[in-house]
Amino acid sequence: MKPKASALFLARSLYRKRRLSDAAKLLPIFGAVLLLLPLLWVHQGAPERSNTATNWVYLFIIWSFLILAAAGLAKPLNNFEDGDDQSSNENVSGRSPESGRSDAL
Amino acid sequence: MVAFWVERRAVKGQADWLKSPLVYTLSLSIYCTAWTFYGAVGYASRSGLEFLTIYLGPTLVFVGWLWILRKLVRIGRLQGVTSIADLISSRFGKSNLLGVIVTLICVVAATPYIALQLQSVTLSFLVLAGASTQGWEQPDTASIAFWVAVGLAVFTVLFGTRNLDAKEQHPGIVTAIAVEAIVKLIALLAVGIFVVWGMAGGPMDIFERLQRADIAGWEIKPSRWVGLTFLAAAAVITLPRMFQVMVVENDNEGHLATASWAFPLYLMLMSLFVMPIAVMGLDMMPAHANPDLFVLTLPLSQGQNTLAMLAFLGGFSSATSMVIVASIALATMVSNHIIMPIWLRVRASTFQSTNLRSSILLARRCSIAAILALGYGYYELSGGSSALAAIGLISFMGVAQILPSLVGGIFWRGATKVGAALGLSIGIVIWAYTLFLPSFGPDEAFSAAIMLNGPFGLYWLRPQALFGISGLDPLMHSLFWSFFFNIMAFFIGSLLSFPNPVERLQGVAFVNVFEEDPRNPSRWVQGLAEPESLLIMAQRVLGDEVALSFFSAAALAQGKVGFLPETTPVFVEQLERSFAGAVGAATAHAMLNQLAGGKTVSVEDLMAVADEAAQNLVYSQRLENNQHELTRTTRALREANNKLIQLSVQKDAFLSQVSHELRTPMTSIRAFSEILMTADLPSETVLKYATIIDNEGGRLTRLLDDLLDLSVLQNGAVRLDVQMVKAQDLIERALIAASQTCPERVFLIKRHLAREQIFIKSDGDRLVQVFINLISNARKYCSAKLPELAISVGQKGGQLMIDFIDNGHGISAEKQGLIFEKFARLTDESKAGGAGLGLAICREVLSNLAGRIEYLPGKGGTAFRVTVPLRFPGPKD
């Protein structure tokens, strides 16, 4: 998506990538809240009968959602990271020189 | 067995496919141990869904990898961290004390967990062998556990300590774990599928059974739900085996991004069938059956022996891989932080002559054996009857005490060694007191009386109800108090203590790892370490071939041929990192310092040198300053002396002039008064002579007045009357007063009234005096036939300028300097009637008013410019 020559320099891709990492940071918090919801249901429902079965289904659904969301974010984030760190990765002599060059994509 | 086979293959050096993110993710599965196979099912059948917290916690941590894990991995790679103890020790100034503390915590916390694995293996073996699941005979199980422990020790020693890798990576073992992860998963999924579709009627059936099976004790307890999730999250970061595979063995940060979803996926799949298995077990198995072993007993009860075998294999391999990785990680820590420092200190003078590498390997091997012995010992001691779940959680809580120091260390530059040490110690003590020791059972470590009433009868110190909080269950209670005191001690300790420079450097390096250039070449000074000595030492630590290839590669990179690169700071830094892989960061640092008798420089040394240099610098600067001052003073003295001489000369000249000026009129006065006394003269002559005497007297008086005025002005003792005055008024006054001089001459005065409307803050009277002088001079000396005097007023740059220009023939250039001197007169003195002090006085007056007067050349006639600031700045000097 190339901006027109006369358009403003908006740096859209960089902005979006930053928002991606924001989303990735927000995801666990969101997930934690969702996973804690069963606590509330316990108190409201009838105390003699805890609804394990439905809770189980609910928890696994949330779990799957978290995994899918993380998977969706991981690929673009990875590209962002690598593009960002390319120079610093190559500068890092890190340890012994014979270490594998796998990090320089 | 699987592990053996894979290990053989991997050892042959197939490196490429190791670098895939899949292998990394699967290696993380080391988190799921035999506990997942056996303990989880038992936990589920006893407490319902609570077991899921153990897997939900890590899920959140990995999904949120950007928060903590990414930074951890980055730091690990850049700093060459070899274990969690190394990380903590390195962060807080390469402190060996912290390394020791963390190592001890890990060993103490991991021991029960290793025992747990042994117990699982033993029990599962017994089940498979057909023995009853309850009431086993002690010697039988003991021997199984014993031989398992021995076998594991041998395997780990063989494959975990083949060589010393600079990065402390063990690609073979990682591969083995990855394969084992797949085996685990398949095994558990297979049993699960069998249970759900083979034994039950599919998912809906399971669902209904779940609803029916809902019993008391399955409801979710909020405090435990939250607490355990947090605990599991903390454990996945701080467990030594997790740290090893997650940070130390990490080769590529991109793998972490994949693991962020792939690992939770793995966890989810592993825990998917736990509940169904538990439910089926509760339904199908007899009431006294051990729910921990449903994974085995259910297939066995259906005659599915191969499936049971597969399940056993999964459980066995997960137990063994946990023990292997954990013991490698722990052995690394023990040898780097406990054994090697002691060894170095003891052999400080002679270590160069021993083969360091084999010492390190020996230390590692002994550590592995010791750790397994400990695990076995704990297993024996605990009687093997406590529910497996409890042990696991106690272990988690122990290593979780490292979390505050870890997270604080990588995010907060203010975290210090003292704070970390305090936090860790207090946390572990409380953990031991409230959880670990009571777990041995009543009357083992703490008598039942102490549990009820507190030590020495101190009620508020009851191990499971500290400070009166008795409503929480023991685990949560311990979690709360241990973390509370841990964090408080960490914060307060950090805030109250001041870190040493290495700590601060490391603090910046760690916390700002995403911003800073990872290399800190300024830490080593170029050329102070000889490459040959470094090579010798490297050969001892890393092994001959590794050292040689390292050095020659570095030399090549520097463009040199051969084996000896120049000891640039970067090179020494890299070398330090390689050493750190073998002996730990703190020891490596000490070693390179020790080399060449202190000729190498560390930060500490650099600072000491810098200190000295600074002191020398200050001293020499002071000397220099003194010297300068001396020369300055002498010069000033000389100048002052010269001035004094000049002044003295001037004074003499002035005195002679003044006496001359005074004498002239005095002579006239005396002469004429003598005549008046002696002769008899006609009255007009008397009148004439008397007038002359009067005039001369007046002249004398004026002269004396002027002299006095001048003296006052020169001494600056004049009192100035500073007011707001208008230029126009001043000029008017001056004109009126000066018109008394030569009144017969008619002057044309040219003024520009508009410009004279300026207000000025100065001494008006004195200015008028100056103006009168100038105008009188003009009236006296202007030689033009039709005399004119132009007075023009202007201002510029905060200064008021008034020009007095007549149309005479001006003053020649060489005389322009003289006219301001005292008694200087350009024409015949009698005609002028003045003493020649007028312009001198003007000059003094204006000098006192922070202005000046100067002759303006090139105006045709005589022109004077008076410059005075619009706003009198105040008395000078």
A50: domain range?
15-80
Q: Is the dihedral of CA B813, B817, B819, B824 positive or negative?
A: negative
> What is the Cα–Cα distance from B432 to B442, expressed in whole angstroms?
14
Q: Considering CB atoms only, which of B252, B265, B272 is closest to A67?
A: B265
**DSSP letter assigned to residue B867:** E
Is A94 among the domain residues? Answer: no
Angle at CA B553, nearest 5°, toward B551 and B559?
105
Q: Answer for the pair B338, B360: CB distance below 8 angstroms, yes or no.
A: no
Fold entry, domain B717-869: Heat Shock Protein 90 (3.30.565)
Residues of B in contact with A90 (CB under 8 A): none
A62 touches chain B (CB under 8 A): no
Residue A92 pLDDT: 38
Instruction: Compute, in degrees rounded to 10, the torsion defined by CA atoms B603, B607, B609, B614.
Output: 150
Q: Looking at the predicted structure, is the pLDDT value of residue A99 above 50? A: no
Q: Considering CB atoms only, which of A56, A92, A97 is closest to B553?
A: A97
What number is the average pLDDT over the span B745-759? 88
Q: Considering CB atoms only, which of A63, A67, A92 is closest to B78?
A: A92
* A68: closest chain B residue by CA: B261
Residue A1 pLDDT: 46
Mark yes or no for CB contact A31/B60 under 8 Å: yes
> What is the Cα–Cα distance from B232 to B397, expressed in whole angstroms?
9
Mark yes or no for CB contact A74/B220 under 8 Å: no
Q: Residue B727 is encoded by which pair of tokens?
A: 């230029």
CB-CB neighbours of B426 under 10 Å? 21
Residues of A in contact with B214 (CB under 8 A): 49-53
User: How many domains does chain A divide into?
Assistant: 1
Fold entry, domain B602-715: Helix Hairpins (1.10.287)
Question: Which amino acid makes up residue B839?
Answer: L
Range in B169-173, B512-516, B743-747 the model is least confident about: B512-516
Average per-residue pLDDT for chain B:
80
Residue B106 pLDDT: 93
Q: Which distant-in-sequence residues (6+ apart) come within 8 Å of B425 by Cβ?
A: B101, B489
| Substitution target from A27, A39, A63, A86 for chain B, most B beta carbons within 10 A | A63
φ/ψ region of B795 (left if φ > 0, alpha if ψ in -120 to 50, else beta) reads: beta
Most confident of B147-161, B337-351, B861-875: B861-875
**How far does chain B reach from its first CA to its final CA, in angstroms?**
101
Most confident of B200-214, B571-585, B772-786: B772-786
SS3 (DSSP) at B759? strand
CA distance A6 to chain B (A): 34
> How far is Cα of residue B665 from the mean position of the Cα atoms in its chain?
87
Is A92 among the domain residues? Answer: no
In which band, very low, low, confident or very high, does the pLDDT at B526 lie, cut at 50, 70 and 90? very low
SS3 (DSSP) at A103? coil
In which band, very low, low, confident or very high, does the pLDDT at B711 lie, cut at 50, 70 and 90? confident
What number is the average pLDDT over the span B164-192? 80
Residue B55 pLDDT: 93
Q: H or E segment at B802?
A: strand B799-806
Mapping DSSP onto H, E and C, the string for B618-658 reads: HHHHHHHHHHHHHHHHHHHHHHHHHHHHHHHHHHHHHHHHH
Q: Answer for the pair B570, A93: CB distance below 8 angstroms, yes or no.
A: yes
The β-bridge relationship of strands B852-855 and B863-869 is antiparallel
CA distance B761 to chain A (A): 59
> What is the Cα–Cα distance from B323 to B576, expressed in whole angstroms?
30
A92 touches chain B (CB under 8 A): yes
pLDDT, one tens digit per residue, over B91-109 is 888 888 899 999 999 999 8
CA distance A103 to chain B (A): 5
Pick the closest to residue A93 from B647, B166, B836 (CA basis).
B166
User: Domain extents for chain B?
Assistant: 2-8+40-400, 401-518, 520-601, 602-715, 717-869
A79 touches chain B (CB under 8 A): no
Q: Which distant-in-sequence residues (6+ apart) come within 8 Å of B557 by Cβ?
A: A97, B565
What number is the average pLDDT over the span B70-79? 86
Residue B132 pLDDT: 39
A86 touches chain B (CB under 8 A): no
pLDDT, one tens digit per residue, over B365-401 is 888 999 999 888 888 776 655 555 577 888 899 999 9
What number is the average pLDDT over the span B194-201? 82
What number is the average pLDDT over the span B403-427? 91
Beta bridge partners of residue B804, listed in sequence order: B791, B864
Please tell me which residue, B349 or B671, carries the higher pLDDT value.
B671
Q: Answer for the pair B326, B89: CB distance below 8 angstroms, yes or no.
A: no
Report percent pLDDT > 90 for chain A.
8
Q: Looking at the predicted structure, is the pLDDT value of residue B353 above 60? A: no
Pick the closest to residue B114 from B268, B239, B23 (CA basis).
B239
In which band, very low, low, confident or very high, does the pLDDT at B475 lie, cut at 50, 70 and 90? confident
Q: Looking at the predicted structure, is the pLDDT value of residue B15 above 70? A: no
A22 touches chain B (CB under 8 A): no
Mark yes or no for CB contact A50/B211 under 8 Å: no
Is A35 among the domain residues? Answer: yes
Mark yes or no for CB contact A28/B64 under 8 Å: yes
Please tell me which residue, B812 or B274, carries the higher pLDDT value.
B274
The β-bridge relationship of strands B852-855 and B748-751 is unpaired
Q: Which distant-in-sequence residues (6+ apart) come within 8 Å of B157 by Cβ?
A: B365, B368, B369
Q: Answer for the pair B379, B119: CB distance below 8 angstroms, yes or no.
A: yes
Question: Which amino acid makes up residue B840?
Answer: A
Cite the DSSP H helix spans in B716-800.
727-738, 764-781
pLDDT, one tens digit per residue, over B573-629 is 788 888 877 777 766 776 776 663 344 445 555 566 666 666 777 788 888 888 888
Residues of B in contact with A36 (CB under 8 A): 225-226
Please tell me which residue, A97 or B711, carries the higher pLDDT value.
B711
Helix-, strand-, coil-residue percentages of chain A, each rounded to 5: 70, 0, 30
Helix-, strand-, coil-residue percentages of chain B, each rounded to 5: 70, 5, 25
A70 touches chain B (CB under 8 A): yes
Residues of A in contact with B45 (CB under 8 A): none
Mark yes or no for CB contact A28/B581 under 8 Å: no
Span B2-8+40-400: which CATH code? Answer: 1.20.1730.10
In which band, very low, low, confident or very high, does the pLDDT at B650 lie, cut at 50, 70 and 90? confident
Residue B420 pLDDT: 92
What number is the average pLDDT over the span A57-76? 88
Tallying the residues shown for chain B, one arrives at 877
Pick the closest to residue A63 from A37, A99, A82, A89 (CA basis).
A37
Range in B295-309, B360-374, B424-438, B756-770 the model is least confident about: B295-309
Q: What are phi and psi of B760, to 5 degrees?
A: -135, 145
- Complete DSSP assignment for A51-86: -HHHHHHHHHHHHHHHHHHHHHHHHHHHHHHHHHHH
Tell me the C-alpha to C-alpha distance, in Å, between residue B772 and each of B490, B711, B733, B834.
86, 20, 8, 13
Residues of A in contact with B48 (CB under 8 A): 50, 52
Please tell me which residue, B341 or B805, carries the higher pLDDT value.
B805
pLDDT, one tens digit per residue, over B488-524 is 999 999 888 888 878 887 888 888 877 644 444 334 4
Angle at CA B63, nearest 5°, toward B59 and B67?
115
Instruction: Compute, in degrees rounded to 10, the torsion defined by CA atoms B626, B627, B629, B632.
Output: 180
- Complete DSSP assignment for B826-852: SS-HHHH-S-S-HHHHHHHHHHHTT-E
| Residue B429, CA atoms < 13 Å, CB-side half-sphere | 10
* B221: closest chain A residue by CA: A39
Range in B16-20, B561-565, B830-834 the model is least confident about: B830-834
Mark yes or no for CB contact A52/B62 under 8 Å: no
Residue B355 pLDDT: 66
pTM score, whole prediction: 0.61
> What is the Cα–Cα distance from A103 to B254, expressed in whole angstroms?
8
Pick the closest to residue B529 from B562, B568, B578, B579 (CA basis).
B568
> What is the Cα–Cα distance from B338 to B101, expressed in whole angstroms?
10
In which band, very low, low, confident or very high, does the pLDDT at B216 lie, cut at 50, 70 and 90? low
Residues of A in contact with B261 (CB under 8 A): 67-68, 70-71, 74
> What is the Cα–Cα distance from B232 to B400, expressed in whole angstroms?
9
Q: Considering CB atoms only, which of B64, B216, B275 is closest to A56?
A: B275
| Residue B473, CA atoms < 13 Å, CB-side half-sphere | 9
Q: Is the dihedral of CA B516, B522, B523, B529 positive or negative?
A: positive
In which band, very low, low, confident or very high, does the pLDDT at A85 lie, cut at 50, 70 and 90? very low
pLDDT, one tens digit per residue, over B529-569 is 567 777 877 777 777 788 888 888 888 887 777 777 777 77
Is A101 among the domain residues? Answer: no
Most confident of B435-439, B580-584, B737-741: B737-741
Chain A, chain B: beta-carbon pairs less than 8 Å apart: 163
Residues of A in contact with B570 (CB under 8 A): 93
Q: Is the dihedral of CA B37, B40, B45, B46 positive or negative?
A: positive
Residue B401 pLDDT: 93
Report percent pLDDT > 90 for chain B.
12
Residue A88 pLDDT: 39
Q: Answer for the pair B318, B33: CB distance below 8 angstroms, yes or no.
A: yes
Based on the number of CB atoms within 10 Å of its own CB, is B805 exposed (0-12), middle (13-18) or buried (19 or more)?
Answer: buried
Q: Answer for the pair B296, B311: CB distance below 8 angstroms, yes or no.
A: yes
Identical fold between B602-715 and B717-869: no
Residue B607 pLDDT: 60
Q: Residue B519 is encoded by which pair of tokens?
A: 């290399």
Residues of B in contact with A64 (CB under 8 A): 268
Mark yes or no for CB contact A64/B268 under 8 Å: yes
